[in-house]
């Protein structure tokens, strides 16, 4: 499995590609940051993010794209920029038919460090250890992108089993116990009322 992790942002959009399967050593194929100037027009910055992500997709051809799920922040301006960059990443992947997975920061931290409240330094240290790197990737956005990719590789098998179980449950719910579809409104054969039963023959007593 090859996953492109994207830590969305307008000024710095972290990107990292990790390859491997759950339960085995993972390999980092590339890591970096797509940057845009803070004084540029918003439209130009979004185009720059798109072009940067497209270049990574062209170079590494990932099978999946993992993007950090945007969550509410006190700084509305920051969360808006993050949401816009996140949408660009999802658009680029969808245009190529690449499945996109969204993971919250706490999910990523828990998957990589074992704690959903881990600090960025802890995430960077674990990413360095898991990918057998010489030093933590910098800036932190790059390390976060790799952490997203690692998280998806580890969580994907469980998510797939859950989705299959849900699909199977829905399919079985649409059929009867015998496997044949239920007919809405259908009921068991009606009972024969007492009025329609065959009349009894009364034998009179002999005189």
Q: Which residues carry out catalysis?
A: 7, 68, 141
Nearest to 100 by CA among 59, 159, 165: 159
Per-residue CA distances from 124 to 30, 31, 141, 206 (Å): 15, 13, 10, 107
Classify residue 84 by burial, with Cβ atoms within 10 Å: 0-12, 13-18, 19+. middle
Q: For residue 78, how many other CB atoms are within 10 A of its CB?
A: 13
Per DSSP, the chain holds a count of helices (H) and strands (E) of: 5, 5
Count of residues for the chain?
207
- For the chain, what is the largest distance between any 2 Cα atoms, rounded to a whole number of angstroms? 121
Dihedral angle sign, alpha carbons of residues 84, 18, 16, 43 = negative
Contacts for 42 with CB less than 8 Å, ≥ 6 apart = 84
How many CA atoms does the CB half-sphere of 199 hold within 13 Å?
A: 3
């Amino acid at each position: 499995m090859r996953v492109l992790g994207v830590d969305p942002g307008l000024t710095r959009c972290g990107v990292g590609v990790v390859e491997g399967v759950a339960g085995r050593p993972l390999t980092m194929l590339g890591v970096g940051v797509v940057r845009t100037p803070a004084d540029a027009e918003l439209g130009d910055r979004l185009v720059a993010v798109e072009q940067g992500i497209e270049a990574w997709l062209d170079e590494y051809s990932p099978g999946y794209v993992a993007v950090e799920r945007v969550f509410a922040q006190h700084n509305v301006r920051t969360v808006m920029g993050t949401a816009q960059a996140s949408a660009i990443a999802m658009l680029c992947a969808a245009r190529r038919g690449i499945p996109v997975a969204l993971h919250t920061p706490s999910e990523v931290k828990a998957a990589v460090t074992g704690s959903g409240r881990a600090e960025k330094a802890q995430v960077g240290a674990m990413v360095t250890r898991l990918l057998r790197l010489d030093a933590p990737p910098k800036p932190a956005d790059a390390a976060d992108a790799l952490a997203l990719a690692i998280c998806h590789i580890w969580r994907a098998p469980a998510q797939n089993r859950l989705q299959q179980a849900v699909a199977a449950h829905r399919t079985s719910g649409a059929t009867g116990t015998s496997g044949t579809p239920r007919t809405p409104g259908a009921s068991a054969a009606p009972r024969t009322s007492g009025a329609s039963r065959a009349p009894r023959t009364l034998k009179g007593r002999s005189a």
